[in-house]
Amino acid sequence: MSFDTTALNRRRHRFEGRSQVWLFGYGSLIWKADFEFIERRIARLHGWSRRFWQGSHDHRGTRESPGRVLTLVPDPDATCIGVAYLITPAVFDALDQREKNGYLRHVVPLAFGDGTEVEGLLYLADEHNAAWLGPASDAAVARQVAHAQGPSGANRDYVLHLAEALRALDADDPHVFAIERLLRESATATGA
């Protein structure tokens, strides 16, 4: 699969007869909702964990020096806490551009705190896309993140904003918090 998944996503879900769709955000969509939405709710996705295994060649890095951003990986015992946005299908024109670097839309069941469940969409990147970086140790991820910079800013800021947003949701994520800790330790050691 190419770097740009915009056309693929537009063929995957056309939204005929739907005036509203739930979108699940588990990464930057939690703290950077630069799109119109009708409602925002904390939501849970069971069976998935966040991992910094996707390359960012268009936002938080470059093709020569990609950053690392989140995707989800199957994890039967995990629950990923994020934010669900109720949006109109028209919003996907901009979202498909934002999430074009290897992410495809997938239908998933989302659970809200009041016990209700809905069908929603999320953007997921897997090993079949050109921007996939795959597993690495927390230390290796933190080193790559510390040096990556792209049109949307420093990759480090992506991690720090996300960690802050997850704490605001009272969402524990050991992987994200480990990378954040390593980045802060590295900045302290170098005086940055």
Domains defined for the chain, CATH in brackets: 6-187 (3.10.490.10)
31-63: pLDDT as tens digits: 999 999 999 999 999 999 999 999 998 899 998
**Catalytic annotation on 127?**
no
Q: What is the dihedral of CA 112, 106, 7, 52, to 10 degrees?
A: 90
Which pTM value belongs to this model?
Answer: 0.92
Please state, for a pLDDT cut of 90, what percent of the chain lies above it: 84
What six digits make up the tokens of 90? 């028209």
Q: Write down the catalytic residue from 99, 117, 119, 180.
A: 99
Both tokens of 78, joined, read 């995990």
